[in-house]
């Protein structure tokens, strides 16, 4: 049998994809499965993502606030950090976060790798230091071996820790939602109400800000375009990064993928239900008051954006050794 070169295969694939782009004129595109993942690095990153030993208390991991069994969030208004501290802002989902133009509500981290070092050393989150995180991992030979193998370079450091976590996060995409199947041509994948909801979503102008494969995540926009938003959080958005007054109250537009699972909503977590979030968006962003049946249809459409959730074997962490610094959960 003649073997096609990877390049020829790639071109053939690209042509078929283009030719069959039923969604070519749609503002939303399907999510594709993660590509070009370094499997060994992602496996290491998965362990680190779930490892509470990267926190001062030995109790908080990335998964505590971005629970992969709950849409990559904690479903709390604002997160709980070290010593039961009340966080200042709602935790966005990590699902599909690799598609964001930047990380955090105000975009202060340029990518997932830049983001991943933050929470470990944040006194209000994991409350550790990078030095201690490295010490913990260095005290566990199985971790050291894995780091050496994955990076082909001796030693554990923060750069490797954040690279591995970011590589794992790149795998956390959610393709194959009913909406995506509909986009790709399976017209029975959505009910009439869901299709009507999508039409309302487009025709009302929601897609002006919520578009692309992640249905958001690709721009900063003002919260409260037509009417001001009375936020319960002191956060002011993008202005914190740019210092420009025009950026006050601009936030990264959240992805609406899996939005049924990522309640409560908005940067202050004040909207408890999708019905409420849709109503606020209509009025504040577009000056439009949706009727009850319209609201129901838009919510029905939004729920069709739930895709395949990450599915994998739980990582088994290598055990601590006699040398591993012990957690200090109750120390002030
Ligand atoms: C105590 C809760 C908590 C822990 C622990 C935590 N996070 Fe977060 N995470 C948050 C909150 C809250 C935000 C939003 C902060 C902001 O925007 O100012 C956030 C934001 C993020 C974002 C940006 C998503 C977006 O759309 O902007 C990513 C990615 C992320 N965290 C990954 C991680 C990783 C990886 C870890 C572990 C190293 C971690 N988080 C640990 C609460 C937490
Ligand atoms: C002008 C840009 C813009 C338009 C138009 C817009 N949105 Fe938003 N949307 C945002 C921003 C910005 C946020 C985050 C606001 C915040 O948290 O303070 C958001 C948040 C949301 C959320 C909450 C998501 C979450 O995880 O917290 C939902 C749901 C939502 N929008 C739906 C809609 C719907 C439905 C429409 C149309 C009726 C719409 N949006 C129109 C910019 C927009």
Cα-to-centroid distance, 264 and ligand 1 (Å): 15
- Tell me the pLDDT tens digit for each residue of 19-69: 568 898 999 999 999 999 999 999 999 999 999 999 999 999 999 999 999
What is the pLDDT confidence band of residue 1, given thresholds at 50, 70 and 90?
A: very low
Neighbours of 110 (CB within 10 A): 11
91 close to ligand 1 (CB < 6 Angstrom): yes
Q: Which of 125, 146, 270, 294 is catalytic?
A: 125
CB-based contacts of 313, cutoff 8 Å, min separation 6: none
Q: What is the DSSP string of 275-310?
A: HHHHHHHHHHHH-----HHHHHHHHHHHHTT--PPP
Distance CA 237, CA 89 (A): 11
Judged by DSSP in three states, 221 sits in: strand
Question: What are the domain boundaries of the chain?
Answer: 39-170, 178-303
- Tell me the pLDDT tens digit for each residue of 153-166: 999 999 999 999 99
Q: Which top CATH class is 39-170?
A: mainly alpha
51-65 core/surface letters (b: 16 or more CB in 10 A; e: else): bbbbbbbbebbbbbb
Task: Select from 3.30.420.40, 3.30.230.10, 1.10.10.10, 1.10.760.10 the CATH code of 178-303.
Answer: 1.10.760.10
Nearest C-alpha neighbor of 130 from the set 64, 40, 48 = 48
Whether the predicted pLDDT of 241 surpasses 80 = yes
Q: Which residues line ligand 2 (CB under 6 A)?
A: 201, 204-206, 208-210, 221, 223, 225, 251, 253-254, 256, 259, 262, 265-267, 274, 277-278, 281-282, 285-286, 298
């Amino acid at each position: 049998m003649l073997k096609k070169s990877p390049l020829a295969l790639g071109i053939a694939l690209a042509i078929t994809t283009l030719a069959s782009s039923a969604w070519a004129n749609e503002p939303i595109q399907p999510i594709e499965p993660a590509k070009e993942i370094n499997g060994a690095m992602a496996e290491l990153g998965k362990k680190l993502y779930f490892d509470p030993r990267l926190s001062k208390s030995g109790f908080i991991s990335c998964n505590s606030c971005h629970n992969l069994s709950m849409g990559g969030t904690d479903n709390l208004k604002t997160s709980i950090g070290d010593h039961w501290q009340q966080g200042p802002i709602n935790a966005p989902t990590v699902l599909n976060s690799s598609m964001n133009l930047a990380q955090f509500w105000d975009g202060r981290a340029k990518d997932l790798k830049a983001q991943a070092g933050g929470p470990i050393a944040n006194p209000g989150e994991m409350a550790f230091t990078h030095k201690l995180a490295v010490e913990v991992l260095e005290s566990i030979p199985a971790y050291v071996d894995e780091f050496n193998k994955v990076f082909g370079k001796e030693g554990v450091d923060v750069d490797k820790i954040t690279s591995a976590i970011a590589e794992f996060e790149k795998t956390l995409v959610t393709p194959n939602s009913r909406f995506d199947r509909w986009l790709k041509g399976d017209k029975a994948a959505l009910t009439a109400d869901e299709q009507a909801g999508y039409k309302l979503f487009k025709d009302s102008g929601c897609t002006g800000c919520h578009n692309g494969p992640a249905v958001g995540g690709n721009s900063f926009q003002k919260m409260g375009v037509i009417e001001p938003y009375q936020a319960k959080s002191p956060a002011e958005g993008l202005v914190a990064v740019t210092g420009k007054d025009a950026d006050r109250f601009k936030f990264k537009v959240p992805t609406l993928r899996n939005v049924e699972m990522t309640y409560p909503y908005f940067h202050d977590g004040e909207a408890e239900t999708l019905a409420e979030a849709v109503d606020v968006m209509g009025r504040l962003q577009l000056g439009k008051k949706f009727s009850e049946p319209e609201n129901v249809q838009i919510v029905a459409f939004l729920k069709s954006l739930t895709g395949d959730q990450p599915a994998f074997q739980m990582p088994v962490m290598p055990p601590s050794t006699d040398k591993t610094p012990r957690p200090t959960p109750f120390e002030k």
